[in-house]
Structure 1
Protein backbone atom coordinates (compact mmCIF):
# COMPACT_ATOMS: atom_id res chain seq x y z
CA UNK A 1 0.00 0.00 0.00
CA UNK A 2 1.44 3.35 -1.03
CA UNK A 3 0.67 6.68 0.54
CA UNK A 4 2.05 8.95 3.25
CA UNK A 5 3.36 7.58 6.52
CA UNK A 6 1.26 8.88 9.44
CA UNK A 7 2.24 9.21 13.09
CA UNK A 8 -0.56 8.74 15.63
CA UNK A 9 0.28 10.39 18.95
CA UNK A 10 -1.39 9.08 22.11
CA UNK A 11 -0.77 10.67 25.53
CA UNK A 12 -1.16 8.06 28.28
CA UNK A 13 -2.08 9.01 31.84
CA UNK A 14 -4.11 6.77 34.16
CA UNK A 15 -5.76 5.01 31.23
CA UNK A 16 -5.35 1.34 32.12
CA UNK A 17 -9.08 0.69 31.62
CA UNK A 18 -9.37 2.24 28.14
CA UNK A 19 -6.01 2.27 26.37
CA UNK A 20 -6.34 -1.27 24.96
CA UNK A 21 -9.53 -0.37 23.07
CA UNK A 22 -7.94 2.81 21.76
CA UNK A 23 -4.79 1.04 20.59
CA UNK A 24 -6.86 -1.71 18.99
CA UNK A 25 -8.71 0.92 16.95
CA UNK A 26 -5.33 1.97 15.52
CA UNK A 27 -4.30 -1.60 14.77
CA UNK A 28 -7.62 -2.17 12.97
CA UNK A 29 -7.00 0.66 10.51
CA UNK A 30 -7.51 -0.39 6.90
CA UNK A 31 -4.55 1.85 6.05
CA UNK A 32 -1.26 0.21 7.04
CA UNK A 33 1.36 3.00 6.83
CA UNK A 34 1.24 4.37 10.36
CA UNK A 35 3.04 4.32 13.67
CA UNK A 36 1.50 4.80 17.10
CA UNK A 37 3.61 6.82 19.53
CA UNK A 38 2.38 6.32 23.09
CA UNK A 39 3.66 9.12 25.29
CA UNK A 40 3.60 7.83 28.87
CA UNK A 41 2.99 10.40 31.60
CA UNK A 42 2.32 8.24 34.66
CA UNK A 43 5.15 5.71 34.89
CA UNK A 44 2.93 2.75 33.95
CA UNK A 45 4.29 -0.14 31.88
CA UNK A 46 1.78 0.16 29.05
CA UNK A 47 3.89 -2.01 26.78
CA UNK A 48 3.38 -4.92 29.19
CA UNK A 49 -0.29 -4.07 29.70
CA UNK A 50 -0.96 -4.09 25.96
CA UNK A 51 1.05 -7.29 25.45
CA UNK A 52 -1.03 -8.99 28.14
CA UNK A 53 -4.11 -7.89 26.17
CA UNK A 54 -2.68 -9.50 23.03
CA UNK A 55 -1.86 -6.15 21.43
CA UNK A 56 1.66 -6.32 20.05
CA UNK A 57 2.53 -4.56 16.82
CA UNK A 58 5.92 -3.42 15.56
CA UNK A 59 4.36 -0.10 14.57
CA UNK A 60 3.70 0.76 18.24
CA UNK A 61 6.44 2.80 19.91
CA UNK A 62 6.71 4.13 23.45
CA UNK A 63 8.19 7.32 24.81
CA UNK A 64 8.11 8.94 28.25
CA UNK A 65 7.65 12.49 29.50
CA UNK A 66 10.14 11.84 32.28
CA UNK A 67 7.56 12.73 34.93
CA UNK A 68 4.17 11.88 36.32
CA UNK A 69 1.17 14.05 35.55
CA UNK A 70 3.10 16.65 33.57
CA UNK A 71 -0.08 17.27 31.57
CA UNK A 72 -1.69 16.22 28.32
CA UNK A 73 -0.12 19.13 26.44
CA UNK A 74 3.40 18.17 27.45
CA UNK A 75 2.72 14.47 26.77
CA UNK A 76 1.42 15.27 23.29
CA UNK A 77 4.37 17.55 22.55
CA UNK A 78 6.77 14.80 23.66
CA UNK A 79 4.93 12.33 21.42
CA UNK A 80 5.04 14.67 18.43
CA UNK A 81 8.76 15.26 18.98
CA UNK A 82 9.33 11.49 18.89
CA UNK A 83 7.18 10.98 15.79
CA UNK A 84 8.89 9.80 12.61
CA UNK A 85 6.41 11.50 10.26
CA UNK A 86 5.38 15.10 9.71
CA UNK A 87 1.75 13.95 9.38
CA UNK A 88 0.38 13.94 12.93
CA UNK A 89 -2.90 12.37 14.03
CA UNK A 90 -4.09 12.70 17.61
CA UNK A 91 -5.76 9.83 19.49
CA UNK A 92 -6.43 10.12 23.20
CA UNK A 93 -6.13 6.93 25.23
CA UNK A 94 -9.87 6.73 25.78
CA UNK A 95 -11.02 7.60 22.24
CA UNK A 96 -11.18 5.44 19.11
CA UNK A 97 -10.61 5.75 15.38
CA UNK A 98 -13.13 4.27 12.98
CA UNK A 99 -11.21 1.66 10.96
CA UNK A 100 -11.32 3.64 7.68
CA UNK A 101 -10.20 6.97 9.13
CA UNK A 102 -6.58 6.99 7.96
CA UNK A 103 -7.41 5.41 4.60
CA UNK A 104 -9.87 8.21 3.82
CA UNK A 105 -7.54 10.98 4.97
CA UNK A 106 -4.17 9.77 3.63
CA UNK A 107 -4.73 10.73 -0.05
CA UNK A 108 -5.72 14.26 0.98
CA UNK A 109 -2.66 15.14 3.06
CA UNK A 110 -0.48 16.18 0.12
CA UNK A 111 -2.79 19.09 -0.68
CA UNK A 112 -4.34 19.88 2.72
CA UNK A 113 -2.09 20.57 5.73
CA UNK A 114 -5.04 20.56 8.16
CA UNK A 115 -7.90 18.04 8.07
CA UNK A 116 -10.78 17.59 10.49
CA UNK A 117 -13.48 14.94 10.64
CA UNK A 118 -16.86 14.47 12.22
CA UNK A 119 -17.21 13.08 15.72
CA UNK A 120 -19.33 10.36 17.26
CA UNK A 121 -19.73 11.32 20.91
CA UNK A 122 -20.27 8.34 23.20
CA UNK A 123 -20.72 7.70 26.90
CA UNK A 124 -18.07 5.94 28.98
CA UNK A 125 -19.26 2.56 27.68
CA UNK A 126 -19.10 3.69 24.02
CA UNK A 127 -22.87 3.93 23.67
CA UNK A 128 -23.58 6.65 21.04
CA UNK A 129 -24.90 9.97 22.35
CA UNK A 130 -24.77 12.32 19.36
CA UNK A 131 -22.69 13.33 16.35
CA UNK A 132 -20.91 16.60 15.63
CA UNK A 133 -19.71 17.95 12.30
CA UNK A 134 -21.45 15.33 10.17
CA UNK A 135 -23.77 17.54 8.10
CA UNK A 136 -23.21 18.68 4.54
CA UNK A 137 -20.54 17.72 2.03
CA UNK A 138 -16.78 17.51 2.28
CA UNK A 139 -15.49 21.07 2.07
CA UNK A 140 -12.88 23.55 3.13
CA UNK A 141 -13.63 25.55 6.27
CA UNK A 142 -12.22 29.00 6.81
CA UNK A 143 -11.28 30.12 10.31
CA UNK A 144 -14.47 32.18 10.43
CA UNK A 145 -16.73 29.10 10.33
CA UNK A 146 -14.51 26.25 11.57
CA UNK A 147 -15.85 26.22 15.15
CA UNK A 148 -19.46 26.54 14.05
CA UNK A 149 -19.11 23.15 12.36
CA UNK A 150 -16.74 21.52 14.85
CA UNK A 151 -18.53 22.73 17.98
CA UNK A 152 -17.02 20.06 20.22
CA UNK A 153 -13.42 19.05 20.93
CA UNK A 154 -10.73 19.43 18.26
CA UNK A 155 -8.47 16.41 18.75
CA UNK A 156 -9.97 14.66 15.70
CA UNK A 157 -7.57 16.55 13.41
CA UNK A 158 -4.62 15.38 11.33
CA UNK A 159 -2.06 18.00 10.37
CA UNK A 160 1.27 18.41 8.60
CA UNK A 161 3.74 19.82 11.12
CA UNK A 162 6.19 20.73 8.36
CA UNK A 163 3.65 23.25 7.09
CA UNK A 164 1.99 23.97 10.44
CA UNK A 165 4.76 24.36 13.06
CA UNK A 166 2.43 24.30 16.06
CA UNK A 167 2.63 22.93 19.60
CA UNK A 168 0.33 22.48 22.58
CA UNK A 169 0.39 25.10 25.34
CA UNK A 170 1.87 23.35 28.39
CA UNK A 171 0.61 26.13 30.69
CA UNK A 172 -3.04 25.67 29.68
CA UNK A 173 -4.96 23.11 31.80
CA UNK A 174 -7.78 22.46 29.30
CA UNK A 175 -9.09 23.42 25.86
CA UNK A 176 -5.58 22.88 24.52
CA UNK A 177 -7.03 21.57 21.26
CA UNK A 178 -8.79 24.88 20.61
CA UNK A 179 -5.58 26.83 21.20
CA UNK A 180 -3.81 24.47 18.78
CA UNK A 181 -6.50 25.11 16.14
CA UNK A 182 -6.02 28.86 16.56
CA UNK A 183 -2.29 28.36 16.03
CA UNK A 184 -2.94 26.20 12.95
CA UNK A 185 -4.95 28.99 11.34
CA UNK A 186 -1.91 31.23 11.73
CA UNK A 187 -0.29 29.09 9.02
CA UNK A 188 -3.21 28.11 6.80
CA UNK A 189 -6.44 29.81 5.77
CA UNK A 190 -8.43 26.59 5.35
CA UNK A 191 -9.14 23.26 7.01
CA UNK A 192 -10.50 20.43 4.90
CA UNK A 193 -13.46 18.91 6.73
CA UNK A 194 -14.70 15.36 6.18
CA UNK A 195 -18.29 15.18 7.50
CA UNK A 196 -18.15 11.54 8.54
CA UNK A 197 -17.98 10.39 12.20
CA UNK A 198 -14.49 8.89 11.91
CA UNK A 199 -13.49 9.64 15.50
CA UNK A 200 -15.22 8.30 18.63
CA UNK A 201 -15.00 10.80 21.47
CA UNK A 202 -15.72 9.09 24.78
CA UNK A 203 -17.22 11.32 27.47
CA UNK A 204 -16.06 10.02 30.82
CA UNK A 205 -18.17 10.58 33.93
CA UNK A 206 -15.22 12.38 35.55
CA UNK A 207 -12.43 13.79 33.40
CA UNK A 208 -10.78 17.08 32.55
CA UNK A 209 -14.03 18.10 30.78
CA UNK A 210 -16.51 16.68 33.28
CA UNK A 211 -16.93 16.45 37.01
CA UNK A 212 -16.75 19.00 39.83
CA UNK A 213 -15.64 22.55 38.98
CA UNK A 214 -15.18 21.71 35.27
CA UNK A 215 -17.44 24.58 34.20
CA UNK A 216 -15.43 27.13 36.19
CA UNK A 217 -12.20 25.81 34.69
CA UNK A 218 -13.57 25.98 31.15
CA UNK A 219 -15.02 29.45 31.67
CA UNK A 220 -11.66 30.72 32.91
CA UNK A 221 -9.77 29.34 29.91
CA UNK A 222 -12.38 30.61 27.45
CA UNK A 223 -11.98 34.09 28.90
CA UNK A 224 -8.21 33.72 28.53
CA UNK A 225 -8.58 32.68 24.88
CA UNK A 226 -10.95 35.59 24.26
CA UNK A 227 -8.42 37.98 25.75
CA UNK A 228 -5.74 36.56 23.45
CA UNK A 229 -7.99 37.05 20.43
CA UNK A 230 -8.87 40.60 21.42
CA UNK A 231 -5.19 41.52 21.85
CA UNK A 232 -4.09 39.94 18.54
CA UNK A 233 -2.10 37.20 20.24
CA UNK A 234 -2.61 34.95 17.21
CA UNK A 235 -1.23 36.06 13.86
CA UNK A 236 -3.97 34.56 11.71
CA UNK A 237 -3.59 34.22 7.94
CA UNK A 238 -7.09 35.68 7.53
CA UNK A 239 -6.96 38.00 10.53
CA UNK A 240 -10.30 39.80 10.50
CA UNK A 241 -12.41 36.77 9.60
CA UNK A 242 -10.62 34.48 12.06
CA UNK A 243 -10.88 36.83 15.02
CA UNK A 244 -14.54 37.57 14.35
CA UNK A 245 -15.46 33.90 13.95
CA UNK A 246 -13.52 32.60 16.92
CA UNK A 247 -14.56 35.48 19.20
CA UNK A 248 -18.24 35.02 18.30
CA UNK A 249 -18.02 31.30 18.98
CA UNK A 250 -16.16 31.69 22.26
CA UNK A 251 -18.62 34.25 23.59
CA UNK A 252 -21.51 31.93 22.76
CA UNK A 253 -19.66 28.99 24.32
CA UNK A 254 -18.87 30.98 27.46
CA UNK A 255 -22.51 31.99 27.84
CA UNK A 256 -23.54 28.37 27.39
CA UNK A 257 -21.05 27.26 30.06
CA UNK A 258 -23.01 29.05 32.77
CA UNK A 259 -26.32 27.50 31.70
CA UNK A 260 -24.74 24.07 31.37
CA UNK A 261 -23.32 24.21 34.90
CA UNK A 262 -26.81 24.87 36.29
CA UNK A 263 -28.48 22.13 34.23
CA UNK A 264 -25.83 19.47 34.76
CA UNK A 265 -26.08 20.04 38.51
CA UNK A 266 -29.68 18.81 38.25
CA UNK A 267 -29.05 15.97 35.82
CA UNK A 268 -25.98 14.31 34.31
CA UNK A 269 -27.84 13.46 31.10
CA UNK A 270 -27.24 16.87 29.51
CA UNK A 271 -24.57 17.26 26.85
CA UNK A 272 -22.76 20.55 26.55
CA UNK A 273 -22.88 20.23 22.75
CA UNK A 274 -26.69 20.01 22.80
CA UNK A 275 -27.01 23.19 24.80
CA UNK A 276 -24.39 25.02 22.74
CA UNK A 277 -26.02 24.02 19.46
CA UNK A 278 -29.39 25.27 20.71
CA UNK A 279 -27.83 28.59 21.73
CA UNK A 280 -26.06 29.01 18.38
CA UNK A 281 -29.31 28.33 16.54
CA UNK A 282 -31.21 30.76 18.74
CA UNK A 283 -28.65 33.46 18.03
CA UNK A 284 -28.73 32.56 14.32
CA UNK A 285 -25.02 31.82 14.23
CA UNK A 286 -25.12 28.08 13.65
CA UNK A 287 -24.26 26.15 10.44
CA UNK A 288 -22.99 29.14 8.47
Structure 2
Protein backbone atom coordinates (compact mmCIF):
# COMPACT_ATOMS: atom_id res chain seq x y z
CA UNK A 1 0.00 0.00 0.00
CA UNK A 2 1.41 3.39 -0.99
CA UNK A 3 2.08 6.00 1.69
CA UNK A 4 0.15 9.25 1.74
CA UNK A 5 3.30 11.36 1.52
CA UNK A 6 6.81 10.95 0.07
CA UNK A 7 9.75 12.98 1.41
CA UNK A 8 12.46 13.79 -1.13
CA UNK A 9 15.84 13.90 0.58
CA UNK A 10 18.97 14.68 -1.51
CA UNK A 11 22.23 13.67 0.18
CA UNK A 12 25.78 14.74 -0.64
CA UNK A 13 28.57 14.41 1.91
CA UNK A 14 25.83 14.18 4.53
CA UNK A 15 27.30 11.60 6.91
CA UNK A 16 27.34 13.97 9.90
CA UNK A 17 23.97 15.67 9.36
CA UNK A 18 21.66 13.05 7.85
CA UNK A 19 21.06 11.20 11.16
CA UNK A 20 19.46 14.37 12.57
CA UNK A 21 17.23 14.71 9.49
CA UNK A 22 16.10 11.08 9.65
CA UNK A 23 15.55 11.23 13.40
CA UNK A 24 13.24 14.21 12.87
CA UNK A 25 11.19 12.11 10.43
CA UNK A 26 10.90 9.23 12.86
CA UNK A 27 9.55 11.69 15.45
CA UNK A 28 6.74 12.93 13.21
CA UNK A 29 3.26 12.77 14.72
CA UNK A 30 1.97 11.97 11.22
CA UNK A 31 3.40 8.56 10.36
CA UNK A 32 2.08 7.55 6.92
CA UNK A 33 5.14 8.68 4.96
CA UNK A 34 8.11 7.32 3.08
CA UNK A 35 11.52 9.01 2.76
CA UNK A 36 13.64 8.58 -0.35
CA UNK A 37 17.32 9.39 0.13
CA UNK A 38 18.82 10.33 -3.24
CA UNK A 39 22.55 9.79 -2.74
CA UNK A 40 24.52 12.11 -5.01
CA UNK A 41 27.90 10.82 -3.87
CA UNK A 42 27.58 7.02 -3.98
CA UNK A 43 27.53 6.70 -0.18
CA UNK A 44 25.33 3.97 1.34
CA UNK A 45 23.61 6.06 3.98
CA UNK A 46 21.26 3.29 5.07
CA UNK A 47 24.26 1.25 6.20
CA UNK A 48 24.97 4.02 8.71
CA UNK A 49 21.40 4.10 10.03
CA UNK A 50 21.02 3.15 13.71
CA UNK A 51 18.22 0.71 12.92
CA UNK A 52 15.94 -0.50 10.11
CA UNK A 53 12.88 1.52 9.11
CA UNK A 54 11.03 0.20 6.06
CA UNK A 55 9.64 3.68 5.42
CA UNK A 56 13.15 4.88 4.47
CA UNK A 57 14.81 3.78 1.26
CA UNK A 58 17.72 4.96 -0.82
CA UNK A 59 18.65 5.33 -4.46
CA UNK A 60 21.71 6.62 -6.26
CA UNK A 61 21.62 9.48 -8.74
CA UNK A 62 24.52 8.08 -10.74
CA UNK A 63 26.32 11.39 -10.35
CA UNK A 64 28.51 13.06 -7.77
CA UNK A 65 27.88 16.61 -6.61
CA UNK A 66 25.41 17.18 -9.44
CA UNK A 67 23.19 19.36 -7.26
CA UNK A 68 19.98 19.31 -5.25
CA UNK A 69 17.73 19.57 -8.30
CA UNK A 70 18.85 16.37 -10.06
CA UNK A 71 18.82 14.51 -6.74
CA UNK A 72 15.30 15.65 -5.95
CA UNK A 73 14.20 14.65 -9.45
CA UNK A 74 15.65 11.17 -8.95
CA UNK A 75 13.71 10.83 -5.69
CA UNK A 76 10.59 12.25 -7.35
CA UNK A 77 10.64 9.52 -10.00
CA UNK A 78 10.68 6.87 -7.27
CA UNK A 79 8.08 8.51 -5.01
CA UNK A 80 4.79 6.68 -4.43
CA UNK A 81 2.93 9.19 -2.25
CA UNK A 82 -0.04 11.32 -3.28
CA UNK A 83 1.72 14.28 -1.64
CA UNK A 84 5.38 15.28 -1.64
CA UNK A 85 7.62 17.10 0.82
CA UNK A 86 11.22 18.30 0.61
CA UNK A 87 13.90 17.93 3.27
CA UNK A 88 17.60 18.69 2.90
CA UNK A 89 20.07 16.34 4.56
CA UNK A 90 21.44 19.00 6.92
CA UNK A 91 18.03 20.19 8.12
CA UNK A 92 15.13 18.77 10.16
CA UNK A 93 11.35 18.83 10.61
CA UNK A 94 9.66 19.88 13.84
CA UNK A 95 7.65 16.88 15.14
CA UNK A 96 4.24 18.25 14.08
CA UNK A 97 5.28 19.62 10.68
CA UNK A 98 3.60 17.02 8.48
CA UNK A 99 0.52 16.80 10.69
CA UNK A 100 -0.02 20.57 10.42
CA UNK A 101 0.93 21.16 6.79
CA UNK A 102 -0.69 18.18 5.06
CA UNK A 103 -4.29 19.40 5.64
CA UNK A 104 -3.35 22.75 4.06
CA UNK A 105 -1.76 20.96 1.11
CA UNK A 106 -4.97 18.92 0.67
CA UNK A 107 -7.06 22.08 0.75
CA UNK A 108 -4.94 24.41 -1.36
CA UNK A 109 -2.48 22.27 -3.31
CA UNK A 110 0.78 23.61 -1.86
CA UNK A 111 2.03 24.98 1.44
CA UNK A 112 5.27 26.00 3.14
CA UNK A 113 5.95 27.18 6.66
CA UNK A 114 7.81 30.14 8.14
CA UNK A 115 11.28 28.57 7.87
CA UNK A 116 13.14 28.61 11.20
CA UNK A 117 16.79 29.42 10.42
CA UNK A 118 19.34 28.15 12.96
CA UNK A 119 22.96 29.21 13.21
CA UNK A 120 25.96 26.87 13.39
CA UNK A 121 25.44 26.52 17.16
CA UNK A 122 21.84 25.37 16.65
CA UNK A 123 20.23 28.59 17.90
CA UNK A 124 17.11 30.01 16.23
CA UNK A 125 18.50 32.88 14.22
CA UNK A 126 15.81 34.38 11.99
CA UNK A 127 12.64 33.72 9.99
CA UNK A 128 11.41 35.19 6.71
CA UNK A 129 8.19 36.62 8.16
CA UNK A 130 7.05 37.97 11.54
CA UNK A 131 4.95 35.55 13.54
CA UNK A 132 1.29 35.72 12.57
CA UNK A 133 -1.73 33.87 13.90
CA UNK A 134 -2.98 32.26 10.69
CA UNK A 135 -1.89 30.98 7.29
CA UNK A 136 -1.80 33.40 4.37
CA UNK A 137 -1.48 33.23 0.59
CA UNK A 138 2.05 33.67 -0.78
CA UNK A 139 3.00 35.93 -3.66
CA UNK A 140 6.04 35.67 -5.93
CA UNK A 141 7.70 38.52 -4.03
CA UNK A 142 7.09 36.70 -0.74
CA UNK A 143 9.03 33.72 -2.12
CA UNK A 144 11.87 35.79 -3.57
CA UNK A 145 12.47 38.73 -1.24
CA UNK A 146 13.41 37.08 2.09
CA UNK A 147 16.41 35.24 0.55
CA UNK A 148 15.59 32.36 2.90
CA UNK A 149 14.59 28.99 1.40
CA UNK A 150 11.10 27.55 1.65
CA UNK A 151 10.44 23.79 1.55
CA UNK A 152 7.00 22.88 0.20
CA UNK A 153 4.50 20.17 0.94
CA UNK A 154 2.35 19.75 -2.17
CA UNK A 155 0.20 17.46 -4.26
CA UNK A 156 2.34 15.43 -6.65
CA UNK A 157 0.18 16.50 -9.63
CA UNK A 158 1.74 19.96 -9.20
CA UNK A 159 5.33 18.72 -9.58
CA UNK A 160 5.42 19.22 -13.34
CA UNK A 161 8.80 18.19 -14.72
CA UNK A 162 10.43 18.64 -11.32
CA UNK A 163 13.39 20.86 -10.58
CA UNK A 164 15.10 22.80 -13.37
CA UNK A 165 18.64 21.93 -14.38
CA UNK A 166 20.17 25.11 -12.98
CA UNK A 167 23.22 25.11 -10.72
CA UNK A 168 21.80 27.84 -8.50
CA UNK A 169 18.40 28.57 -6.90
CA UNK A 170 16.62 25.50 -8.30
CA UNK A 171 14.47 25.39 -5.15
CA UNK A 172 13.40 29.04 -5.59
CA UNK A 173 12.48 28.52 -9.22
CA UNK A 174 10.53 25.35 -8.37
CA UNK A 175 8.53 27.26 -5.75
CA UNK A 176 7.69 29.90 -8.35
CA UNK A 177 6.50 27.14 -10.68
CA UNK A 178 4.39 25.72 -7.84
CA UNK A 179 2.90 29.17 -7.36
CA UNK A 180 1.95 29.13 -11.04
CA UNK A 181 0.35 25.65 -10.89
CA UNK A 182 -1.29 25.49 -7.45
CA UNK A 183 -4.83 26.79 -6.90
CA UNK A 184 -3.27 28.78 -4.04
CA UNK A 185 0.10 28.54 -2.29
CA UNK A 186 -0.14 29.10 1.46
CA UNK A 187 2.35 29.86 4.20
CA UNK A 188 1.75 28.35 7.64
CA UNK A 189 2.83 30.88 10.30
CA UNK A 190 4.91 28.52 12.46
CA UNK A 191 8.57 27.73 11.86
CA UNK A 192 8.25 23.97 11.43
CA UNK A 193 11.11 23.51 8.96
CA UNK A 194 14.37 23.72 10.91
CA UNK A 195 16.95 25.11 8.48
CA UNK A 196 20.52 24.76 9.74
CA UNK A 197 23.32 26.97 8.51
CA UNK A 198 26.39 24.80 8.01
CA UNK A 199 30.01 25.53 7.27
CA UNK A 200 30.65 25.29 3.53
CA UNK A 201 27.06 26.12 2.54
CA UNK A 202 26.49 28.73 -0.17
CA UNK A 203 26.12 31.67 2.20
CA UNK A 204 29.29 30.66 4.09
CA UNK A 205 31.45 29.62 1.14
CA UNK A 206 34.57 31.39 -0.11
CA UNK A 207 33.43 31.40 -3.75
CA UNK A 208 29.85 32.50 -3.08
CA UNK A 209 30.10 35.77 -5.02
CA UNK A 210 31.47 34.10 -8.15
CA UNK A 211 28.91 31.30 -8.06
CA UNK A 212 26.09 33.78 -7.49
CA UNK A 213 27.23 35.97 -10.41
CA UNK A 214 27.16 33.00 -12.77
CA UNK A 215 23.91 31.67 -11.34
CA UNK A 216 21.96 34.93 -11.50
CA UNK A 217 23.16 35.63 -15.04
CA UNK A 218 22.07 32.16 -16.17
CA UNK A 219 18.65 32.48 -14.55
CA UNK A 220 18.05 35.95 -16.03
CA UNK A 221 19.00 34.67 -19.48
CA UNK A 222 16.61 31.74 -19.16
CA UNK A 223 13.83 34.02 -17.91
CA UNK A 224 14.29 36.21 -20.97
CA UNK A 225 14.11 33.08 -23.14
CA UNK A 226 10.91 31.99 -21.34
CA UNK A 227 12.50 28.67 -20.36
CA UNK A 228 10.67 28.32 -17.02
CA UNK A 229 6.92 27.52 -16.94
CA UNK A 230 5.88 30.64 -15.06
CA UNK A 231 2.81 32.84 -15.31
CA UNK A 232 3.69 36.17 -16.97
CA UNK A 233 3.20 38.22 -13.80
CA UNK A 234 5.35 35.81 -11.77
CA UNK A 235 8.04 35.85 -14.46
CA UNK A 236 8.14 39.64 -14.35
CA UNK A 237 8.61 39.69 -10.57
CA UNK A 238 11.31 37.01 -10.89
CA UNK A 239 13.20 39.13 -13.44
CA UNK A 240 13.09 42.14 -11.12
CA UNK A 241 14.17 40.22 -8.03
CA UNK A 242 16.98 38.24 -9.68
CA UNK A 243 18.31 41.42 -11.31
CA UNK A 244 18.26 43.10 -7.89
CA UNK A 245 20.10 40.10 -6.45
CA UNK A 246 22.72 40.32 -9.21
CA UNK A 247 23.20 44.03 -8.49
CA UNK A 248 23.52 43.48 -4.73
CA UNK A 249 25.93 40.59 -5.33
CA UNK A 250 28.31 43.05 -6.97
CA UNK A 251 28.12 45.22 -3.86
CA UNK A 252 28.81 42.09 -1.83
CA UNK A 253 31.96 41.51 -3.90
CA UNK A 254 33.11 45.04 -3.06
CA UNK A 255 32.36 44.57 0.63
CA UNK A 256 34.42 41.38 0.61
CA UNK A 257 37.35 43.12 -1.04
CA UNK A 258 37.17 45.96 1.50
CA UNK A 259 37.01 43.53 4.43
CA UNK A 260 33.60 44.81 5.54
CA UNK A 261 32.17 41.27 5.71
CA UNK A 262 33.42 37.70 5.45
CA UNK A 263 30.40 35.78 4.16
CA UNK A 264 27.18 36.37 2.24
CA UNK A 265 25.27 35.73 5.46
CA UNK A 266 27.06 38.63 7.16
CA UNK A 267 26.43 40.85 4.14
CA UNK A 268 22.70 40.04 4.07
CA UNK A 269 22.38 40.71 7.79
CA UNK A 270 24.18 44.06 7.66
CA UNK A 271 22.11 45.23 4.67
CA UNK A 272 18.73 43.75 5.72
CA UNK A 273 18.77 41.27 2.83
CA UNK A 274 20.10 44.08 0.57
CA UNK A 275 16.98 46.20 1.22
CA UNK A 276 19.14 49.00 2.65
CA UNK A 277 21.07 49.09 -0.63
CA UNK A 278 17.84 49.23 -2.62
CA UNK A 279 16.54 52.11 -0.49
CA UNK A 280 19.76 54.04 -0.97
CA UNK A 281 19.68 53.43 -4.71
CA UNK A 282 16.08 54.59 -4.86
CA UNK A 283 16.87 57.84 -3.08
CA UNK A 284 19.99 58.60 -5.13
TM-score bucket of the superposed structures, by smaller chain: 0.7 to 0.9
What does residue range 177-216 of structure 1 map to in structure 2 within 5 Å?
177-188=171-182, 190-216=184-210
Match of 2:76 among 49, 55, 80: 80
Give the alignment's Cα RMSD to 1 decimal: 2.4
More displaced stretch, 260-269 vs 6-15: 260-269
Is the alpha carbon distance of 1:145 and 1:47 closer, same or farther for their aligned partners in structure 2, counting shifts above 3 Å? closer
Matched, 1:252 2:244: yes
Larger deviation: 4-13 or 15-24?
4-13
Match of 1:164 in 2: 159
Contact 1:119 1:199 in 2 (8 A): yes
Conservation of the 8 A alpha-carbon contact between 1:252 and 1:276: no
Change beyond 3 A, Cα 1:278–1:71: closer
Check the 8 A contact 1:134/1:196 in 2, yes or no: no
- Does 2:266 correspond to 1:274? no
1:266: Cα distance to partner? 4.3
Separation of aligned partners in 2, 1:262 and 1:57: 50
Once the two structures are superposed, the pairs formed by residues 111-122 of structure 1 within 5 Å of their partners are 111-122=107-118
**How far off its partner does 1:218 sit?**
1.3
Structure 2 stretches lacking a partner, 5+ long: 280-284
**Count of residues paired in the alignment:** 273
Alignment-derived partner of residue 219 in structure 2: 225
- State the shift of 1:8 in Å: 0.8
- Residues 268, 274 of structure 2: 8 Å contact kept: no
Contact in 2 for aligned 1:36/1:60 (Cα 8 Å): yes
* Whole-Å separation in 1 of the counterparts to 2:104 and 2:217: 35
Q: TM-score, normalised by structure 1?
A: 0.84
CA separation of 1:83/1:122 partners in 2, compared to 1, >3 Å: closer, same or farther?
A: same
C-alpha displacement of 1:135: 4.0
| Alignment partners' CA distance in 1, 2:236 and 2:40 | 37
Judge conservation of contact 1:252–1:280 (CA < 8 Å) in 2. no
Output one character per residue of 1:211-255: Cα deviation in whole Å (capped at 9) or x when no partner: 121111112211222223334333434x2x313322222222222
Matching of residue 147 in structure 1 with residue 144 in structure 2: yes
Structure 1 contact 144–244 (Cα < 8 Å) conserved: no
Higher helix content, 1 or 2: 2
Question: Take 2:192 and 2:83, find their aligned partners in 1: how far apart are those partners?
Answer: 17
What's the counterpart of residue 41 of structure 1?
40
Task: Specify the SS of the correspondent of 2:77.
Answer: helix
The DSSP-based 3-state class of the residue aligned with 2:274 is helix
SS at match of 2:194: strand
